[in-house]
Amino acid sequence: MGQVNSGCAVKSAVLTRCIELTTDLIDDFILWNRRQKTSENMLYRYLLYLRKVVGLKLCCKKDVWKYFDKVGLSKTSFEAFSRLLTYIEKGLEGYEELAYRLRKALPPKPQSKADTYIPSDSEILKLAENIRKKRRTLHNNTTISWSPQVADYQKQWSS
């Protein structure tokens, strides 16, 4: 970590602060997310993407594109990168400006795709029959067990 010449076009000749995605940085990111109560399932999914880009230096807009070129643009890859930027901004001192610049370069967040699956008539009929069988089995296996007090009460009122 530290300042390096990024190779990205900068308005002035000032060196741009960059950060390299190392395994240590990713491990720290995961620990930070655990403290944020991120689920283990999501952390695992984030790791699947971030491990693919170990060694990538993040300095400017084109580095954001490199990330998505390597991992693909999906809802989870976007969330992993966005959460990484939040970690860089809040968890690493002195990298707030870098996180801000990189966040501005993010593509639009992909939307979840609509569920377009339509089951066939035969699938629907089969499911309906399975439900009927389960209801019959449940109904036939249900027995009412009365407590002795209820049985006494019923005898009083039936006589």
Q: Which residues pair with 112 in a beta bridge?
A: none
Query: Do residues 142 and 83 both lie within one domain?
Result: no
d(CA 74, CA 68): 9
Query: Do residues 11 and 76 both lie within one domain?
Result: yes
| pTM score | 0.63
Query: Do residues 131 and 98 both lie within one domain?
Result: no
Query: Do residues 43 and 90 both lie within one domain?
Result: yes
Reported as a single tens digit per residue, the pLDDT across 54-93 is 999 999 999 999 999 999 999 999 999 999 999 999 999 9
Q: Which residues pair with 19 in a beta bridge?
A: 58
Q: In which region does residue 67 sit, left (phi positive, over 0), alpha (psi from -120 to 50) or beta (all else)?
A: alpha
Expressed as residue numbers, the domain containing 133 is 121-158
Please count the residues of the chain. Answer: 159
Query: Do residues 127 and 73 both lie within one domain?
Result: no
| Residue 31 located in a structural domain | yes
Best CA proximity match to 56, nearest among 26, 99, 90, 13: 26
| Residue 114 located in a structural domain | no
| Residue 110 located in a structural domain | no
Tens of pLDDT along the chain (159 residues)?
A: 444 445 565 443 345 689 999 999 999 999 999 999 999 999 999 999 999 999 999 999 999 999 999 999 999 999 999 999 999 999 999 999 999 999 999 999 888 777 777 888 888 889 888 888 877 777 666 555 555 665 565 566 555
Domain count, the chain: 2
Both structure tokens of 150: 């209820």
Query: Do residues 8 and 85 both lie within one domain?
Result: yes
